[in-house]
Structures are given as C-alpha cells and as structure tokens.
Structure 1
Amino acid sequence: MNHHLHLFNFYHESEEPTFIENNLTRAFALCLKHDPVLLYAFLREVLSTEDYNFLFYVHEKDTSIDFDMQIETSTLVEETRKLYAIGLTDTTAREDWTGIEKNIDAINKMNITDLVISIKDIKIIFEVKRTGEDCKEQLRQQIAPFTSKEHIHITPMHRTWSDMLHLIEQISNFYTYNGQSNQFINSFLQLVKARFSHWVPTKPFKFQPFFKDNSDLKGRQPLTQRLHYAVQSIGSDQIDVLWDRTSIKVNKPWATEAIPDFLWGNDGKQYLIMDIWPGTVKQQGYSLYSMPLDWVNAEVVTINGELFEVEVDRHIKFMHFNKYVASLDIPIADGERLLRKEINTPANLHQLSGKWYRDDWPKLIETLDEYFSFDWKQVCKWDQNFEDSARSYLTLSLGYCCRIYVPYSYIQGLDSSQQGHVSVGMFLAQCKDAMVGLIEG
C-alpha cells in the first residue's frame, strides 16, 4: 500500500518528541477502539479475573466503552470504583510497580493522563513514553486525585511496548489465518516498524529453529536479537552495549567482559556459548598470573545442579592501538602437539608480552618459533597484518579464552513465553558467575 494511505503517516510530519509520542498514543488508542478483538485481548491481559467477569458476564444495555486523551484525572474520580494505572514504556522487561499508589502527597496541579479507557465504573489510565524513561512519578500524580476516596481500588502496573506489539501481532496473525485484516492494526505495525523497529517482539527460543551452519548470518539474526533482549534484561548496570556486541560485565582485574553467542559445535550439536578472556592485555595478566592456573584444565562447570562442558584455550593476541588484529588459539586439551614448550607462564608475562616495535620483530619471530611447532605466521597472517603493513609496533598478550557450552535445547526450555528472555538473562548471569568462580577458585 502507498505510504500516504497508511492511517498514521502524515504529510510534513514533525520530528518533535512530543508530537511523536502523542501520535503514538493516538495510534494505539485508535487500534483498541476500532478492533474489538484486540481490545478484548488487551482487557483480558490487564484486568483482574473479578473485573473481567464483571464486565463480560454482567451485561447492561447502555454500557459503552469510551476512549479519551489528555484528560484531567480529577474529573474521573466520582464515577470510578476501580482504577488501573498503566505505565507504558520502552524497556526490555516489565517492572513491578506494586504499591506506587501509596503515600502520595496531595498535589495541587493538573494531572493529565495520556489516555483513558472507561467501561462502567472501571477506568484504565495510561502514562505513555516512547523511551525507557521512568514515568512512575507522573503516574503517581495522575493517581493522586483517586487516593482520597477509600472505596476506589487502585491497581498500578507497568507494561512495555514489546508487550503491546506481541499482543497486536498475535491478533494480526489471527486475522491472517482467517483471511482477514484490520487497517488500524496494519498501519500501526507499519508505524512501529518504521520508527521503533526494536519494539517488534522476538520469538521465544522455544519456537526458533537453529541456523543452518555457522556461516548462516540470516538464520542467526533472529536468535541474536532474542539473545540481545535476554542480556539487556540482566540490568543496564551489569552490561555493556557496544556497536558490535552486547556483553556482560565481569569487573575483575583479570577480565572485563563475558560474551554469549551461538554456534554449531565440532560434535555437530547446537550450543549457546559464553566466552571470558582472562589476561588479554598485559595489565590483566599481572592479576591472572598471580593466581593458580589449575582452572585451565577444567572440563565442566556446575550451574543450578547441571553440568556444562567447559573448554579453555591459550589466547595469544596481537593488537595495535589496543585493537584486536589477530590471535593464536591453542587448546589446553591436546594443545601440546602445537607447542615445543609452554608459552603462557608468569616469566613470559614479563619477558614476552607487551609492546614490540618493528625493529624488534625479528627477535619476536625467533622467540615465537621456539614455542610453536606449527606455521603460526600463516595462521595470524603475519605478512599481511604486520610485515607488509604500515604498523610500527604491535602489542602481544598471553591470555586465555574460557568457554562454556550450553545445549540450545536447554535454553529453549528456559524460554517458552514472551517474557521468557528474562529467565535466559538470569541464567546467563549465573553462567558468568560460575565461570568467574571457576577461574578464581
């Protein structure tokens, strides 16, 4: 359909945040108003069983469902018995807002709600945000006029835009199965996909097939998106979101981050993995090599009473301007065939790791030849990355990569509903803690 025929696209549309937010609220309200199936599903989602039964089992001839925007909430008090106060924001997981209606001081100011739905003596008010902004205080102000009436029961709650999109997509799919559609829903989905594509819900892992092979980037993308939501649910203070990855903070002097991903194992099985790289810069090495290194021989780690496979590699990393250039990854298990002698030692931390200027590269090559029994220069593309480059120095570190393997079927068991990514996030945090515990002993 032509862009201009969609209900929620306007000529000369303003990019001013308030306009975008108001248009979003209006679009959502119109979807609820003009799609009874969506409205029914929404009410079933937010109302208590008692109120749901009251609305749909006790029919009154003149009952109507009314929608209004930008209403002063004090004008609603006299006709209200039950109040549902919903904060609708852009966050990755629902928050528990139970009790925010308590201890609200009387506020002598306008208490404008973004949207109100009125059914009999039940009111549903919304504070709508297109961002993750904390709007609890604004919602409390809207609730304030109702708190003076003891007979009014107030239920505050938090919902995310992903929750709403999940509901709307379910209804859209239902229409598709029946050969039908609703223009309001179609236009709303187009609006969201154009402006807020990250709201579009990802499928739980339970219902997502694994990608065909490790080179299947298109097949990997839905899993990566769901994993991103899972990691974000751990909490913004415990993760780092970078342009090329979302990682879990380790915050140890010997390592900074743990990164989860998916891959096909060498055994032909499907895994979620998590990697920690202890000692990947010389400064981390001082802390790492001051601890016992017995953990490098570990083969399993226990999480929630379950055993998961662990694999440790020596991770000899070449960097320039603190950026990764190449690495040599030598397994602890069966890695001796690739080594003439052990390279990851406290002595080599001081003598071999660190900055090497171009004039000293012949000495570095001679030294590394003493340790490796394979063509290490070919593996790290020495000529291309260093010898024939304009680089005047490189930095070498003698660290490790510690990897845990979790069968994909286990992750699928944790994530079978729209909010299941939160359980996956909790498990990933436990994986990180278990690996830290393994390394620190």
Structure 2
Amino acid sequence: MNSHLNIFKTYTATDREHQLENDLTRALAICFQEDPLFFHKVLEDMFSSTLYYEKLFGSINADTSITIDIQRQADQINGYEHIFAVSLSESKMINFWGQNNSREYNPVCDIVIAINEVLIVIEAKRNDENCTAQLHNQIMNIVRHNDEFKDKTFDKDNFDGIVTPYDLNWTNLMSVATKVLSFEQATNNTNRFLSDFVKLVRKHNYRWMPEPAIVEFT
C-alpha cells in the first residue's frame, strides 16, 4: 500500500518536529477510540496495581462512560476522584513525587481520558525527552483548580491516594500494540487504525518496536 495512504500520515515536504509529536498523540487517541481491544489492554496494564479496572469494568451492568480528548487545558478538567498521571516517552518516568520545579499556569494536556470519575492524563514526547517534571506540573495545576484540593500542598503525603503516576513509555506501548495487532491479524480482524499507527511509529523510530520473537522448532 502507498505509504501516503496511511490514515495518520501528514503529507508535507518539510520536517515538522512539533507537528510529529502532535500527530503521534492524535493517532494514539484515535486508536483508543477505534480499537477497543487495544484500549482495553492498555487500561488493563495501567490499572493493574489498583482496583479501578474491576470497579469500572467488573460487571456488564456497570454504568461506565468514557470520553477521550486531546489538547485540554488544566482549568477545563474537573469532576474526578482519582488521576492517573501517565508519561509516554522513550525515557522512563523518574521519581514523580520528587519533582519540585512546579509553577502555577494553565498547561495544555496532550491526552485526557475520563472514565466515570477516573481521569487519565497522558503527556507524550516524540523522543527521549523526560516528561516527568512537566507531567507533575500539569497534574498540580489540574488539582489546584479543584475546590476540594486547591488548598492542599501538592505532594505525596496529601495526594498519594488520589494521584497514581504511571510510566507507559513507547517501548511498552508498542509491545502491547504489536501483540494486539498480531492477534487481530490471526483472527482476520485487522484494525486499520492500529495497523497504520504501528506503521507510523515504526517509521518514526523502529527502536520502539519489540524485537521479533525467536521460535525454535525441535
């Protein structure tokens, strides 16, 4: 297939680094919307150390609603009881609660997912730039706009039960994406959105992709 027909490819003759970051973010958000199995696997891993997956999806009678947005400002985000602060970079998250270079402003959050009262905020980078400090600052500014939390110091003592830091990183994400895509291909249900997302990421940085498994036949 012509590479220009990739759903997520922006046709341009110039190298737009910041646009690429936006393209990757938008493509991921669309994949979450258009491939439920992929979204399910990412959430399952993200919620694995908590009870939220069982709480939100443990019953077919659960009244659960999901919204996925991109480029949301902090002061527009409310109505949550718990926040997952998610870093998506080639670099791993470093000591979320140890960040101390916070400032008050109204940051724009890359991806914001609301599942009932659970909020997922994803900060994405196209390279190995560490986004832990930026993500910490974003979450601080989200909670300071909440009347319930605005008078509390944003630290682990006050928010450990309210904010869960999670290191997604591109290598882990693409491992999940590749396994889901492989399963879909095996069942003749390939999702075009996920397939094109994997191609987009592979073209940008093949090192994020998992190495092919070595199968030995005896």
Q: Same fold (TM over 0.5)?
A: yes
**Higher RCO structure (Cα 8 Å, ≥6 apart):** 2
**1:73 and 2:74 correspond:** yes
Alpha-carbon deviation of 1:83? 0.2
Alpha-carbon deviation of 1:46? 0.5
- Residue type at the aligned position of 1:7: I
Pairwise CA RMSD of aligned residues?
2.3
Question: Which residue does the alignment assign to 2:17?
Answer: 17
Secondary structure in 2 aligned to 1:49? coil
Percent of matched pairs sharing the same residue = 27
Question: Which residue does the alignment assign to 2:152?
Answer: none
Write out per-residue CA displacement over residues 402-440 of structure 1, whole angstroms, 9 at most, x where no aligned residue: xxxxxxxxxxxxxxxxxxxxxxxxxxxxxxxxxxxxxxx
Measure the CA separation in 2 of the matches of 1:104 and 1:66.
Answer: 31
Number of paired residues? 201
Question: Which residue does the alignment assign to 1:309?
Answer: none
Normalization by structure 1: what TM-score? Answer: 0.43
Alpha-carbon deviation of 1:57? 1.9
**1:181 and 2:179 correspond:** no
Question: Which residue does the alignment assign to 1:171?
Answer: 180
**CA distance 1:89–1:13, shift in 2 (3 Å):** farther
Secondary structure in 1 aligned to 2:97? coil
Look at both structures and tell me which one has the larger radius of gyration over its CA atoms.
Answer: 1
Alpha-carbon deviation of 1:158? 1.8
Alpha-carbon deviation of 1:153? 0.4
1:1-16 equivalent positions in 2, closer than 5 A: 1-12=1-12, 14-16=14-16
2:68 and 2:113 in contact (8 A); partners too: yes
Give the unaligned 5+ runs of structure 2. Answer: 150-157
Of 134, 141, 155, 2:137 maps to: 141
- Residue type at the aligned position of 1:208: I
1:100 and 1:140 in contact (8 A); partners too: no
Secondary structure in 2 aligned to 1:99? helix
Alpha-carbon deviation of 1:49? 3.5
TM superposition outliers: structure 1 runs of 4+ over 3 Å = 58-61, 94-98
1:97 and 1:157 in contact (8 A); partners too: no
Of 91, 97, 100, 1:99 maps to: 97
Write out per-residue CA displacement over residues 101-160 of structure 1, whole angstroms, 9 at most, x where no aligned residue: 7x675x331221111111000011111111111212211111113455268700112222
Write out per-residue CA displacement over residues 355-409 of structure 1, whole angstroms, 9 at most, x where no aligned residue: xxxxxxxxxxxxxxxxxxxxxxxxxxxxxxxxxxxxxxxxxxxxxxxxxxxxxxx
Measure the CA separation in 2 of the matches of 1:116 and 1:40.
Answer: 16
Of 146, 151, 166, 1:157 maps to: 166
Alpha-carbon deviation of 1:4? 2.6
**CA distance 1:55–1:104, shift in 2 (3 Å):** farther
**CA distance 1:96–1:104, shift in 2 (3 Å):** closer
Which one has a larger percent strand, Structure 1 or Structure 2? 1
- Residue type at the aligned position of 2:44: R
**CA distance 1:10–1:96, shift in 2 (3 Å):** closer
1:312-351 equivalent positions in 2, closer than 5 A: none
- Residue type at the aligned position of 1:168: A
Normalization by structure 2: what TM-score? Answer: 0.83
1:117 and 1:123 in contact (8 A); partners too: yes
Give the unaligned 5+ runs of structure 1. Answer: 211-441
